[in-house]
């Protein structure tokens, strides 16, 4: 594997070892780290919500593309690449919504073992969050690497979709030094070019990074508060809050938690 050094240490240490050690610290120094992380949690919650809102806008974008495509068809005009752009918006919707959906209990898993007792539920949740965080971090790292690889080989989409070359230059500015912006803008023409593959891949990288951050974040919150930070959204509050007639637990707990 290609794990280049970052700040003098292999990248895998920054991505896997240090976050794991911090998780152990959260369990040992719970009270001190709770006060330290509480303001950070508020910022992260706002980021997750913003990601969910962005996913909603991408979903509306799919609708708008379909409507424009219908209008163009009625008028006898063409909308080249409309299907491709709708696909990009659908992919962006999925990836931007990952972290938000996680925190709102939309990632469903089989939870029969979680209902055994509180101790089992606690440590199975810790194990699940840890494995999921490792996996998501690995995925996010290679998603970003895919972006750079696509830009390096000048990979283009295989559809007929095109974008303004100046738009490509503007997006490239965010990943380059300000000293290069003038030359990049001058080199960009006014014509349209086939969509670079890395452009629709950006939402994938952002979404996977946010998912990895959300999983590590939820692991730390669980270890500090000893409570699962993810709560399943209630469909019917009047029913879900009622106690089970035989066991005395809530109906939602008797049915099994659908949290991730």
Query: Tens digits of per-residue pLDDT, 186-203?
Result: 887 788 889 999 999 999
Dump pLDDT digits (tens) for 234-243. 544 444 344 4
Over residues 79-101, mean pLDDT:
94
The average confidence (pLDDT) of the chain is 85
Structure confidence at residue 233 (pLDDT): 56
Report, in angstroms and rounded to the nearest whole number, the Rg of the chain calculated over CA atoms.
Answer: 23
> How far from 147 is each of 95, 181, 251, CA to CA, in Å?
15, 20, 46
193 forms beta bridges with 163
Measured between alpha carbons, how far is 135 from 146 in angstroms, rounded to an integer?
A: 17
Helix H or strand E segment including 8? none
- Going by C-alpha positions, the residue among 102, 123, 105 that lies closest to residue 213 is 102
User: Which residues face 194 on adjacent strands?
Assistant: 162
């Amino acid at each position: 594997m290609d794990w280049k050094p970052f700040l003098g240490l292999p990248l895998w240490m920054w991505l896997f070892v240090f976050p794991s050690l911090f998780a152990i610290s959260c369990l040992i120094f719970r009270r001190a780290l709770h006060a330290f992380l509480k303001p950070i949690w508020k910022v992260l919650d706002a980021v997750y919500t913003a990601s969910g809102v962005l996913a909603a806008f991408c979903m509306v974008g799919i609708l708008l593309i379909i409507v424009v495509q219908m209008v163009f068809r009625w008028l006898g005009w063409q909308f080249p690449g409309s299907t491709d752009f709708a696909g990009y918006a659908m992919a962006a919707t999925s990836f931007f919504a990952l972290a938000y959906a996680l925190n709102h209990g939309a990632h469903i898993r089989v939870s029969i073992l979680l209902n055994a007792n509180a101790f089992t539920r606690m440590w199975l949740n810790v194990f699940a969050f840890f494995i999921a965080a490792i996996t998501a971090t690995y995925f996010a790292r290679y998603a970003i690497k895919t972006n750079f690889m696509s830009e390096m080989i000048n990979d283009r989409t295989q559809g007929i979709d095109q974008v303004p070359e100046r738009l490509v230059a503007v997006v490239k500015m965010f990943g380059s030094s300000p000293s290069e912006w003038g030359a990049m803008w001058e080199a960009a023409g006014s014509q349209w070019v086939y969509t670079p593959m890395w452009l629709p891949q950006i939402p994938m990288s952002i979404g996977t990074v946010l998912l990895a951050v959300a999983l590590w974040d939820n692991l730390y919150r669980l270890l500090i508060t000893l409570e699962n930070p993810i709560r399943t959204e209630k469909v019917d509050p009047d029913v879900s809050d009622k106690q089970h007639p035989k066991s005395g637990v809530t109906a939602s707990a008797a049915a099994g938690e659908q949290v991730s």
